[in-house]
Amino acid sequence: MIIITRPDATEEQIEHIVARIRFWGLKAEVSRGAMRVVIGVIGPEDKIREKPLGAFPGVESVTPVLKPYKLVAYEFRGTASQVKIGGIGVGGKELVLMAGPCSVESEDQITTIARAVREAGAKILRGGAFKPRTSPYSFQGLGKLGLQLLATARKETGMPIITEVMDTKDLELVAEYADCLQIGARNMQNFSLLREVGRLNVPVMLKRGMSATIKDLLMSAEYILAEGNFNVLLCERGIRTFETMSRNTLDLNAVPILKSETHLPIVVDPTHGIGIRQHIPSMALAAVAAGADSIMMEVHNAPEQAKSDGEQALLPNDFRDVVERMRAVAKAVGREM
Amino acid sequence: MIIITRPDATEEQIEHIVARIRFWGLKAEVSRGAMRVVIGVIGPEDKIREKPLGAFPGVESVTPVLKPYKLVAYEFRGTASQVKIGGIGVGGKELVLMAGPCSVESEDQITTIARAVREAGAKILRGGAFKPRTSPYSFQGLGKLGLQLLATARKETGMPIITEVMDTKDLELVAEYADCLQIGARNMQNFSLLREVGRLNVPVMLKRGMSATIKDLLMSAEYILAEGNFNVLLCERGIRTFETMSRNTLDLNAVPILKSETHLPIVVDPTHGIGIRQHIPSMALAAVAAGADSIMMEVHNAPEQAKSDGEQALLPNDFRDVVERMRAVAKAVGREM
Amino acid sequence: MIIITRPDATEEQIEHIVARIRFWGLKAEVSRGAMRVVIGVIGPEDKIREKPLGAFPGVESVTPVLKPYKLVAYEFRGTASQVKIGGIGVGGKELVLMAGPCSVESEDQITTIARAVREAGAKILRGGAFKPRTSPYSFQGLGKLGLQLLATARKETGMPIITEVMDTKDLELVAEYADCLQIGARNMQNFSLLREVGRLNVPVMLKRGMSATIKDLLMSAEYILAEGNFNVLLCERGIRTFETMSRNTLDLNAVPILKSETHLPIVVDPTHGIGIRQHIPSMALAAVAAGADSIMMEVHNAPEQAKSDGEQALLPNDFRDVVERMRAVAKAVGREM
Amino acid sequence: MIIITRPDATEEQIEHIVARIRFWGLKAEVSRGAMRVVIGVIGPEDKIREKPLGAFPGVESVTPVLKPYKLVAYEFRGTASQVKIGGIGVGGKELVLMAGPCSVESEDQITTIARAVREAGAKILRGGAFKPRTSPYSFQGLGKLGLQLLATARKETGMPIITEVMDTKDLELVAEYADCLQIGARNMQNFSLLREVGRLNVPVMLKRGMSATIKDLLMSAEYILAEGNFNVLLCERGIRTFETMSRNTLDLNAVPILKSETHLPIVVDPTHGIGIRQHIPSMALAAVAAGADSIMMEVHNAPEQAKSDGEQALLPNDFRDVVERMRAVAKAVGREM
């Protein structure tokens, strides 16, 4: 930690800070400039970070030297990690497609879509059984029945399934069915839920919150790894900005930054990211070029009848078309698909 | 709902939209301009809202006529509601102060601070037992012991207590102690939790998420009311913007907007809002002038030793001072304190 | 400056950085932690700031010790400055009201409104002759005629006038009429214009850009002071956020922060800030309580016929009413009005 | 325009609105729902747009039916436009690279870099002579000398040059040298400058402001086209969000949205967009995949000695490498390079 004092900090205040640092068993290196005093605090960064250094009179700012995340940091592994979802490795040379409807609606709907996306090249089936909806009056998902229908579709197609868990009390149930648990953007800082999925041995895809910084996302993932579950994927799905012509602002800048900050695989969800059906293919291609390890997209065979997010679902034909184009881009950037 | 079509929408597409609307038992009023066709959809707005009108080919935009919230809407009551927290009414002429430490740390700490804030004029005691922390390595709260210490402080001072619940599995425990449950900003869209507190008969203070629009906040409150619990307070505590000199951007614009949109009482938390100790008093005064029904502030008797957020806690003396100034502003805007 | 190196920085890279720092005639203090090396760069901060320290291989971050603004910094004066606009001092104990229409439209309009706002308590008359409009098809202001009408209104009422200058080529003309030049939010980083108003001896009110940080605003003001013109007022008028229920997000947090960072007087414009007529009074009261030195508001005698921004103009009666309430709040926070 | 009234709007208010609409020579279509009245205003949208419909008592919201831009709209041309910069067409099948240093610093510097980027595949040379800098104490560009050095580099390499104009008073001078004028992000709403470049017959690249919506960008371009200059390129260069790990948030969502909204060619500047040297290549590849017509990048042969933005300049070797990879992605998405 580096403490920079205010220009009007008194000698007494500076001495008080130094005394406290030493009292905690840490080392203080004082460097006096013309205008301000800089105090370097040396010792175990974890121990230092707990201390409310900014609360001391005379302090202007406190800058950490080390990053607050450890287990998720790239340096922890020194190489990219691969996470296996039902036998499909995400994070290696292969670019993995996840696709399916927003919500599971019926057996016919989910199996029809599952077959269509598998044929087009998708490897993992997505579908929501528990749906976080802004309005209490919107369709909230089929719950347990939705999970059973996903299992049926898995049996039919052989595709592993990813589905969202919204609450600790549903976790056991969802984990019984899912090959990968999804933690949604709105729950990215539901720390109780993070801790509990951290105690399971199931892959977890953690979506970035709408106003979460990249650092926040990494800290939330750290919660899961700290409990012992290293099978974590991070998903960029759009942040909230002032722009209103896109539903969210898919932040592809996060892809190269995350790839250099963490060893965890990166998924991009262009469907929620831009949220406009006709523009999703462009963003999917861009995500591949930016270096994503996996792309997740929503596909529906009858968007006009969808119970949620019909506006942004691709038709199976459109999906097939964009997968072909993604394949070409993947090859151009040295990925297989 | 009002549907505006794209300039290149075909006659066939328009007819298809109209046919579907009629199939759903709704009325379609078609109005043709030089460039675009406008279709008014008439019927129960709830029923209309479920339909993915934007998913139809040829549609450019869909504008709702009615607001998506009902029970929280000002019109539902036609007058401001008052919520009673342990006998203290929030939402009436009286401006109510809530104060206390960020975290409960020890019996001595919580009772000392409780006495100090009560003496200065606070009516409700705050203090966290379960703490949502960005880092898994930070202090996570005393849990059940924290709740017990809050109960001790309540017994000592007679102040009702407000404390955060982070997860459905802790709800029963927290509700046993709390006079008012706090749902934190990070859980504003934890819909499972919202629904469960909606089934209790305990007041709930719902904090606005960091990237939640005012409409999102109202929709989350609607979840609680829809389950039957009308004892809800809304709390503005700062949103996330590009500005870095304040911890968050306390959005006081939300106060008059919320006061006209909903009957629920409005609390403002300047401590988290601006997050800089020396500037909290100015924002507290501004919040009173803007029309808040209640102000919540963090106070600590030894911020340098606080286990969380010491940087932004007021000292008891500073709190006493700002309360005096708030009293003057409250009077100037016709409130009692 | 404090340089923090990457964990994988080589000894050679660190030596290269240190060598360059010394080559520039500066001092380098190297402090080695377990994971990273911290290099303090000591010498004239201006000289250091010019160097692209972040461009060196092995550097992770560069943290400045001193602030980038000097003349606008509070410490430069050590006390708040007052700026005189046509004899009216802004920045002292008195809270000064500026009011008038968005655009000057006719002699009758401007003189009628001028008389009404003067009577209600406004001291300075605002009115736009050159209007920055998002659309080229919107009313662009009366130009020179608008300035002449403002001069007529000044003569009639004795009120000094503030009006916007949008371009260096109009500067001479506008400066001939204006008692205070306004630089609009969209021109906050029009550095050519800033420099030219810096060479005049006329007060300048600089509005914060929609995405300008507080630091950016101060740096833009520094441009004006650096040219010799210290008669600068800063105006908070709303920033752009994700919220859509208010036109902009009036950032009152900026008021106490600016008051402690700079000696320049602070104006708040709640009209553009929240942009909704019925909510402007609440934000005006909050701005007074937050510590603003001056409040600027738009008033129109016939908003339905206004050529710009009629939606957010107060009627003279509403203005009179809010001024009375502002007077009470001003008194409560120790200001005169 | 579609007017939605408030639930408490009186019959008198509605009649007043309808009467005014008819007084203006427009048609009003009134549609009464259970809760609100919807009034469709029919007539020339331009004429309607000028009216402050939102200023009428009883109005809740006003929704435009037509878009506010005309000449820049895709429909105006019905096909993508190509803009020629010194013989190089931007906006066709060919993906065009623009590259060069942030600032022109010396003849040796600019010609060395020009040769390097031409060899790697760049077609247009960029370089700043007039530099908009946040701080008045930073290097402000060589001005006229910089333009002369650019002309020298053009003569040496045959590459057309693009350079920024910051102010109307410099326009004549800059236009004398430049093959394409750049209007920077900070001047995107400098309407005087937009109008003046609109009267020239020189290509103009308009950069998106840091807080400009896509609609704002299009409206600013409309200013230029409305004066007669249709040779306009739009440039996405990053918007301001809450994220701090990237310098800006390059908004690639804008690429497909702009491609469908306007016929003008789209340039992407990943250098300013993400602002971190090591991550610029990923964003350049993503921009190509997203459908950009041109990519602009900063290259410097000695970033450590650069007078501006050395932190984000690519070395010529790195540039050569990323161009090769861009070529592969361009081919994969059906573009030539």
pLDDT at C192: 96
Taking contacts as CB-CB distances below 8 angstroms, the residues of chain C near A242 are 240-242
Q: Return the amino acid letter for B97.
A: L
Domains B2-63 and B74-332 share a fold: no
- Mutation pick from C61, C166, C186 vs chain D, by most beta carbons of D within 10 Å, is C186
Please state, in angstroms and as integers, the Cα–Cα distance from residue A83 to each residue in A60, A114, A263, following that order: 43, 22, 11
Question: For residue range B86-107, what is the model confidence (pLDDT) as tens digits?
Answer: 999 999 999 999 999 999 999 9
Whole-number Cα distances in Å, D294 to D209, D217, D265:
18, 17, 8
Average pLDDT, chain B: 94
Backbone angles phi, psi at D24, to 5 degrees: -80, 0
B-C contacts at Cβ under 8 angstroms: 137
pLDDT at position A56 is 87
Q: What residues form DSSP beta bridges with A207?
A: A235
Q: Kindly state the average pLDDT of the residues B166-184.
A: 97
Q: What is the pLDDT of residues C79-100, one digit of tens each?
A: 999 999 999 999 999 999 999 9
Chains that touch B (3 or more CB pairs under 8 A): A, C, D
- pLDDT band at residue B48 using 50, 70 and 90 as cut-offs: confident
Picking from C33, C75, C242, the nearest residue to A65 by CB comes out as C33
Mean pLDDT for the stretch of residues A53-68: 86
Over residues A281-298, the mean pLDDT reads 98
Residue B66 has pLDDT above 90, yes or no: no
Mutation for testing the A interface, residue in B140, B220, B240 having most A CBs under 10 Å: B240
- Find the closest chain D residue to C20 by CA distance: D304
pLDDT greater than 80 at residue D34: no
Q: Under an 8 A CB cutoff, do A286 and D282 touch?
A: no
What's the rounded Cα separation, in Å, for the pair B114 and A238?
A: 43
Six token digits for residue A201: 């041995």
Name the band, by pLDDT with cuts 50, 70 and 90, for residue D204: very high
What's the rounded Cα separation, in Å, for the pair B237 and B250?
6
Closest CB to C241 among B239, B255, B328: B239
B239, B283, B325 ranked by CB distance to C252: nearest: B283
**Distance, CA of A5 to CA of A328 (rounded, Å):** 55
Interface test with A, best of C3, C48, C65 (most A CBs within 10 A): C65
Q: What is the pLDDT of residue C65?
A: 83
Average pLDDT taken over every residue of chain C: 94
Centroid of chain to Cα A207: 3
Q: Tell me the pLDDT band of C118, cut-offs 50, 70 and 90.
A: very high
The pLDDT of A118-132, averaged and rounded, is 97
Tell whether the model's pLDDT for residue D107 goes beyond 90.
yes
User: Which of residues A62 and A243 earns the better pLDDT score?
Assistant: A243
Nearest Cβ partner for B251 among C249, C255, C257: C249
Average pLDDT, chain D: 94
* pLDDT above 80 for A158: yes
Which of D66, D137, D219 best tests the C interface by mutation, with the highest count of C CBs <10 A? Answer: D137
- Please answer whether residues B162 and B205 qualify as being in contact, where contact means their C-beta atoms are separated by less than 8 angstroms: yes
- Give CA–CA dist D144/D156, Å, rounded: 19
Name the average pLDDT for chain A.
94
Helix (H, G, I), strand (E, B) or coil at B134: coil
pLDDT at D45: 72
- Minimal-distance CA residue of chain C relative to D277: C55
Per-residue model confidence (pLDDT) at position A96: 98
- Measure CB to CB from residue C33 to each of A8, A42, A240 and give the nearest one: A42
Q: Tell me the nearest-neighbour CA distance from C5 into chain A, angstroms.
A: 9
| B215 with C245: Cβ contact below 8 A | yes
In whole angstroms, give the CA distance from residue B327 to residue B307.
31
HEC string for chain C: CEEEECCCCCHHHHHHHHHHHHHCCCEEEEEECCCCEEEEEECCHHHHHCCCHHHCCCEEEEECCCCCCCCCEHHHHCCCCCEEECCEEECCCECEEEEECCECCCHHHHHHHHHHHHHHCCCEEECECCCCCCCCCCCCCCCHHHHHHHHHHHHHHCCCEEEECCCHHHHHHHHHHCCEEEECHHHCCCHHHHHHHHCCCCCEEEECCCCCCHHHHHHHHHHHHHCCCCCEEEEECCECCCCCCCCCECCCCHHHHHHHHECCCEEECHHHHHCCHHHHHHHHHHHHHHCCCEEEEEECCCHHHCCCCHHHCECHHHHHHHHHHHHHHHHHCCCEC
Residue C173 confidence (pLDDT) above 90: yes
pLDDT score recorded for residue D43: 81
H or E element at residue D327 = helix D316-332
Cα dist. B184→B82, B128, D276 in Å?
21, 11, 35
Cβ of A38 within 8 Å of Cβ of C65? The answer is yes
Strands C294-298 and D27-32, by their bridges, are unpaired
Q: B47 pLDDT exceeds 80?
A: no
Question: Which residue of chain A is at minimal alpha-carbon distance from D272?
Answer: A253
Per-residue model confidence (pLDDT) at position D311: 85
Residue B127 has pLDDT above 80, yes or no: yes
Contacts of C32 in chain A (CB under 8 A): none
Q: How far is D171 from chain A (nearest CA, A)?
A: 31
Q: How far is CA C9 from CA A263, C36, C37, C60, D57, in A?
A: 19, 8, 9, 9, 65
Give the dihedral sign, CA A216/A222/A224/A229: positive
So where are chain C's domains? 2-63, 74-332
**Nearest-CA distance A153 → chain B (Å):** 25
Q: List, for residues B300-324, the tens digit of each pLDDT value.
A: 999 888 888 888 999 999 999 999 9
Nearest CA among C104, C83, C73, C101 for reference residue C202: C83
**Do residues D296 and D284 touch, judged by C-beta distance below 8 A?**
no
Distance between D295 CA and the closest CA of chain A, angstroms: 14
Q: Given a cut of 90, is residue A67 above it in pLDDT? A: no
A242, A248, A253, A312: best to mutate for the D interface, most D CBs within 10 A: A253
Q: What is the pLDDT of residue A264?
A: 98
Residue B148 confidence class, pLDDT cut points 50, 70, 90:
very high
Confirm if A209 and B211 have CB atoms less than 8 A apart: yes
Residue B142 has pLDDT above 90, yes or no: yes
Task: Report the amino acid identity of residue B13.
Answer: Q
Asked if the model's pLDDT at residue A51 lies above 90, the reply is: no
Q: Which pair of tokens denotes residue B143? A: 């849990």
CATH of span C2-63: 3.30.70.1140
User: What's D87's DSSP letter?
Assistant: T
Q: Of A26-40, A56-70, B205-219, C40-54, where does mean pLDDT reach its minimum?
A: C40-54
The answer to whether the CB of A289 falls within 8 A of the CB of A256 is no
- Distance separating alpha carbons of residues A88 and A141, to the nearest angstrom: 27
For C245-259, letters b (16+ CB in 10 Å) and e give bbbbbbbbbbbbbbb
C134, C107 in Cβ contact below 8 A?
A: no
Residue indicated by tokens 């919204």: A166
Smallest CA–CA distance, residue D285 to chain C, in Å, is: 22
The interaxial angle of helices C254-261 and C214-226, nearest 10 deg, is: 40
Q: What is the pLDDT of residue B321?
A: 97
> What is the Cβ-side half-sphere exposure of residue C111, based on CA atoms within 13 angstroms?
11
pLDDT digits (tens, 9 = 90+) for C27-56: 888 888 777 888 988 887 777 777 888 888
Mean pLDDT, rounded, for D21-46: 84
Q: Which residues on chain C are in Cβ contact (under 8 Å) with D197?
A: none
Give residue D12's pLDDT: 93
| pLDDT over 80 (residue A246) | yes
Q: What is the DSSP string of B174-230?
A: HHHH-SEEEE-GGGTT-HHHHHHHHTSSS-EEEEPPTT--HHHHHHHHHHHHHTT--
pLDDT: is C263 or C7 the higher one?
C263
pLDDT confidence of residue D35: 76
The arithmetic mean of pLDDT across residues C217-229, rounded, is 97
- In degrees, rounded to 5, the angle at the alpha carbon of residue D110 between the alpha carbons of residues D107 and D112 is 100
Q: Which residues pair with D97 in a beta bridge?
A: D295
Look up residue A209 and give its amino acid.
G
Inter-chain Cβ pairs, chain A and chain C, closer than 8 A: 42
> Which pLDDT value is given to residue C276?
92
Q: Which residues of chain D have a CB within 8 Å of the CB of B241?
A: 242
| H or E segment to which residue D108 belongs | helix D107-120
Tokens at residue B222, please? 């609607």
CATH 3.20.20.70 fits B74-332, yes or no: yes
pLDDT tens digit sequence for A185-223: 999 999 999 999 999 999 999 999 999 999 999 999 999
CA–chain centroid gap for C182, Å, is 9
Which residues from chain A sit within 8 angstroms of residue D245, using beta carbons?
Answer: 213-215, 257, 261
C-alpha distance from residue D19 to each of B2, B196, D22, D58, D124 (Å)? 23, 51, 5, 14, 57
Alpha carbons C131 and C153: distance in angstroms, whole number: 19
Task: Kindly determine whether residue C169 and residue D192, on different chains, have CB atoms separated by under 8 Å.
Answer: yes
Residues 6+ apart with CB under 8 A from C113: C100, C101, C127, C299, C300, C301, C316
Confidence band of A306 (pLDDT split at 50, 70, 90): confident
Question: Does the beta-carbon distance from A135 to B167 stay under 8 Å?
Answer: no
